[in-house]
Amino acid sequence: MLVLFPLLGIASALSVPYPDSAQIPFAGHAHNPADLPHPDPTHSFWTHSPGANPLAAEGSTGALTDDADVCIIGSGITGVSAAYHLANAVEKGTFPDSGSKIRAVILEAREFCSGATGRNGGNLTPYEFNSFRKTEERFGREAALRYYALEHYSATEMVRIARQAGWADAVDLVEGGHMDIVLTESALADAKADYASAIAAGKNVNVSWLNSEEMNATFGTYNSGVRSPGYNLWPLKFATQLFNRSLHIAPQQLDLRLHTRTPVTAISPLPLTDDSSTSPSGRRWLLATPRGPVRCSAVLHATNGYASHLLPHLAGPAGIIPVRGQVFALRAAAPLSALTTASWGGDEGYWFPRPLAKNETTPLVILGGKRTAAGPPFETDVTDDGVVDSRVGAALRGLLPKLFPGLFAPGREPEAEWTGIMGYTALEIPFVRCIHVGPVLDSRPSQSMEGDLLRSNYKGQFIAAGYTGHGMPRAYGCAEVVVQMIADERAGRTWVTPAWFPRPFLTWVRDAR
């Protein structure tokens, strides 16, 4: 018989290491297009620790790159992964040049990687079986298995790259596993049913279950739990290293630039003056920025929660809704050995203890979540990450001293507290895709887009966005898919779905099954 701690209020399901899309009131009120990123964001531990962001102001002064084959808007994990995949495609010869060096540019509104990737919870946790029944019911068995495969692929590739290139330590990569706390008997029954369904569908599920005695003995906490593979890292440092790697893959064939503090304010079609402007390597789009225009052949929207600023038809439940999340860095009152190196999800929060710096005796714990404490509409339709919410902050302050008695000092103030903007999609609404990956379409996608990406009204514009608060194990793979599409369009090849990619995420697939 489980002994359950009676004071933990909301019975959060296992699938809430990150804020749950089910809590979002998508319907019933107007959704305006997102604003541009707020000019004066809160300072996150990741972005504002001394020396952490050497690329912060890269390319923000001097001449702007005004002409490129590929223009990537946004320098988070999506935009930087796209640059990396592009460099690899150029190096392998699968991204055709047109007689001269290929030009690519990343345009970033604020400092380098200052969006969600520079402000998140630092968890790189591929789901093992979370919400499997709902996912299978929604997408069918094959796509459901791929839904998890995308995360496994992205996370293991990121870890492999960091280790092989020798910068795993420089980005504080820790393979500490992930613990989900299960708060109630009914949540445990739900989790076990998802686990059984995943196994029945043929998925290899690598988890272990802990009862409340084991949770107490191992971690000093209440309730039961389930352990799965998982990592934590310093996401901004990962993006910094991956960008640097991208610069060095094919420098003879690819001219890759980064311009920070360069918001794209509008996109307009270039006049079709001759045949070349309609071909995939001709310049098709004009990006407006306060520093001048940029002419582009292909455009990638790597803007996640902000996507609807440049693509207003993506505002609302059928598109991508900006949602504010809050995180802080709290000094624990116990050594790392008592806390363990696992990352955690439970009771509407997600957290992990950072590796110890040489001058530290107790670790800094990064903790986020508790969005529902803000009350309706739960921080949805918000792009202002220049402030923190005091109600969310109060709920976060109460979480760890309650879950881990003695390991955190009640009343201790965090050393940094910040917010960031996620991009949510309405997973619950029929005929709305989960993540948006592929060519940008108008609001009437057709079923017959495959192999004919040029038919889009936005031909040459692509998107990878809408990770619904769980982008770290998703963006890398989605960026790879979309870069492959850009390369295939340019080469006149038919794009082929990788075995690990769920087709319902494609922008042109209208029926999720």
Ligand X SMILES: *[C@@H]1O[C@H](CO)[C@@H](O)[C@H](O)[C@H]1NC(C)=O
Ligand Y SMILES: Cc1cc2nc3c(=O)[nH]c(=O)nc-3n(C[C@H](O)[C@H](O)[C@H](O)COP(=O)(O)OP(=O)(O)OC[C@H]3O[C@@H](n4cnc5c(N)ncnc54)[C@H](O)[C@@H]3O)c2cc1C
**Which residue from 177, 345, 346, 438 is in contact with ligand X, where contact means CB under 6 A?**
177
CB 472 within 8 A of CB 310: no
**d(C-alpha 442, C-alpha 451), whole Å:** 18
**Which residue from 33, 122, 176, 460 is in contact with ligand Y, where contact means CB under 6 A?**
122
Between helix 475-491 and helix 141-164 the angle, nearest 10°, is 100
Q: How many CB atoms lie within 10 A of CB 393?
A: 19
| Residue 220 site contact among ligand Y, ligand X, none (CB < 5 to 8 Å, cut-off depends on kind) | ligand X
| Residue 229 site contact among ligand X, ligand Y, none (CB < 5 to 8 Å, cut-off depends on kind) | ligand X
CB 181 within 8 A of CB 195: no
327 binds ligand Y (CB under 6 A): yes
**d(C-alpha 111, C-alpha 491), whole Å:** 34
| Residue 502 site contact among ligand Y, ligand X, none (CB < 5 to 8 Å, cut-off depends on kind) | none
477 binds ligand Y (CB under 6 A): no
- CB-wise, 220 or 282, nearer to ligand X? 220
- CB-wise, 165 or 286, nearer to ligand X? 165
Three-state SS for 237? helix
Core vs surface per residue 173-206: b (16+ CB within 10 A) or e: bbebbbbbbbbbeebbebbeebbebbeebebeee
CB of 127 to ligand X, least distance (A): 13
CB of 511 to ligand Y, least distance (A): 25
| Residue 244 site contact among ligand X, ligand Y, none (CB < 5 to 8 Å, cut-off depends on kind) | ligand X
Segment interacting with ligand Y, rule: CB under 6 A, options 45-53, 114-122, 168-176, 371-379: 114-122
Structure tokens given for 51: 């020396």
**d(C-alpha 117, C-alpha 474), whole Å:** 12
Core vs surface per residue 402-411: b (16+ CB within 10 A) or e: bbbeebbeee
Distances (CA, A) of 465 to 73, 233, 470: 11, 21, 11
**Which residue from 43, 248, 455, 513 is in contact with ligand X, where contact means CB under 6 A?**
248
- Which residue, 236, 230, 36, is CA-closest to 117? 236
345 binds ligand X (CB under 6 A): no
**Which residue from 33, 59, 79, 126 is in contact with ligand Y, where contact means CB under 6 A?**
79
Which residues partner with 368 through β-bridges?
327, 350
| Residue 117 site contact among ligand X, ligand Y, none (CB < 5 to 8 Å, cut-off depends on kind) | ligand Y
384 binds ligand X (CB under 6 A): no
465 binds ligand Y (CB under 6 A): yes
Phi, psi of 263 (to 5 degrees): -70, 140
**Which residue from 210, 242, 264, 300 is in contact with ligand Y, where contact means CB under 6 A?**
264
- CB-wise, 179 or 311, nearer to ligand X? 179
**Which residue from 280, 325, 460, 504 is in contact with ligand Y, where contact means CB under 6 A?**
325
291 binds ligand X (CB under 6 A): no
Segment interacting with ligand X, rule: CB under 6 A, options 31-39, 146-154, 357-365, 366-374: 357-365
Contacts for 25 with CB less than 8 Å, ≥ 6 apart: 376, 377, 378, 380
| Residue 248 site contact among ligand Y, ligand X, none (CB < 5 to 8 Å, cut-off depends on kind) | ligand X
- CB-wise, 205 or 318, nearer to ligand X? 205
Segment interacting with ligand Y, rule: CB under 6 A, options 68-76, 157-165, 277-285, 334-342: 68-76
CB 487 within 8 A of CB 457: no
| Residue 303 site contact among ligand X, ligand Y, none (CB < 5 to 8 Å, cut-off depends on kind) | ligand Y
Phi, psi of 493 (to 5 degrees): -95, 160
Helix extents (H) in 17-164: 45-48, 77-92, 132-139, 141-164
346 binds ligand Y (CB under 6 A): no
Structure tokens given for 219: 């971690």
- CB-wise, 47 or 221, nearer to ligand X? 221
CB of 280 to ligand Y, least distance (A): 23
Residues that bind ligand Y (CB under 6 A): 18, 36-37, 73-79, 107-110, 114-117, 119-123, 263-264, 302-306, 309-310, 325, 327, 350, 368, 420-422, 465, 467, 469-473, 475
